[in-house]
């Protein structure tokens, strides 16, 4: 996940002020590849206010996080983004307990998500 590389913390926090900002970013990333409805394979959609994509034929709605490692993250996208940011910009290894304390989430949640990020980075 090198999308966060090369940004400084102030730029990062300035860009992602809300979870909706994070969804917008994810939807931009998704637009790089072609859309195909997972239900009916149609290739045209409408974007909704929450940056989900709705198929023009069957109305199937796909959230901005669907198909990404941010899907169903319980502690919110901003915290998840920040974990990715820290993991891709810091040179020392980060511990889950440290990230948990820094972000006000449980160590277990931090560890689980960081594991997913590491898998995605490989």
Residues contributing to the site for Zn ion (CB under 5 A):
37, 39-40, 42, 55, 57-58, 60
Residue closer to Zn ion (CB basis): 37 or 87: 37
101 Cβ partners below 8 Å, 6+ apart? none
Phi, psi of 19 (to 5 degrees): -60, -30
Contacts 24+ apart (CB under 8 A), 33-42: 37/62, 38/62
Least CB distance from residue 50 to Zn ion, whole Å? 18
Residue closer to Zn ion (CB basis): 8 or 43: 43
Q: Which helix (H) or strand (E) holds 53?
A: strand 53-55
Residue closer to Zn ion (CB basis): 42 or 48: 42
Least CB distance from residue 34 to Zn ion, whole Å? 14
Least CB distance from residue 67 to Zn ion, whole Å? 15
């Amino acid at each position: 996940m090198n999308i966060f590389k090369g940004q400084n913390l102030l730029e990062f926090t300035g860009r992602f002020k809300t979870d909706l900002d994070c969804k917008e970013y994810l939807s931009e990333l998704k637009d790089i590849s072609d859309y195909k409805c997972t239900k009916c394979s149609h290739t045209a959609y409408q974007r909704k206010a929450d940056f989900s994509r709705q198929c023009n034929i069957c109305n199937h709605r796909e959230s901005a996080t669907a198909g990404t490692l941010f899907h169903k993250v319980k502690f919110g996208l901003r915290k998840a983004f920040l974990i990715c940011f820290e993991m891709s910009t810091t040179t020392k290894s980060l511990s889950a307990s440290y990230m948990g304390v820094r972000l006000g989430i449980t160590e277990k949640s931090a560890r689980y998500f960081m594991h997913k990020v590491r898998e995605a980075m490989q």
